[in-house]
Amino acid sequence: MNEGGTGLLPWPPVRDTRPGNAMKVTINGAPHDLPPGSTVAQAVQELTSAVAGVAVALNDEVVRRGAWQSTTLGENDRVEVLTAVQGG
């Protein structure tokens, strides 16, 4: 439970920057430190604020948008975030 006793986590998540309290994940080929328990949705927010035209793969498997909030990341996971670009 959080301090307020509701059991709800704050959004956006509060990042604990103490050494050793982060997990390493690779997002689009670059290393990132994220708090343990981070989700695919949080990884996407590391790269883009776009809400449409975004696709995600976790360890080479596509993650449906409806599962982003509930799909947690683990140490050394690989996340690829793709955004659609329009133009000619």
For residues 44-73, give the mean pLDDT. 93
Q: Which residue did the predictor score with more confidence, 86 or 79?
A: 79
Number of domains in the chain: 1
- Domain presence at residue 14: no
- What are 14-29's pLDDT values in tens digits? 555 545 678 999 999 9
Q: Is residue 53 part of a domain?
A: yes
d(CA 42, CA 15): 11
CA atoms within 13 A on the CB side of 68: 17
Contacts of 48 (CB under 8 A, 6+ apart): 54, 81, 83
The boundaries of the domain holding residue 62 are: 23-83
Phi-psi region of 49 (alpha: psi -120 to 50; beta: other; left: phi over 0): alpha
Give pTM, 2 decimals. 0.72
CATH code at position 60:
3.10.20.30
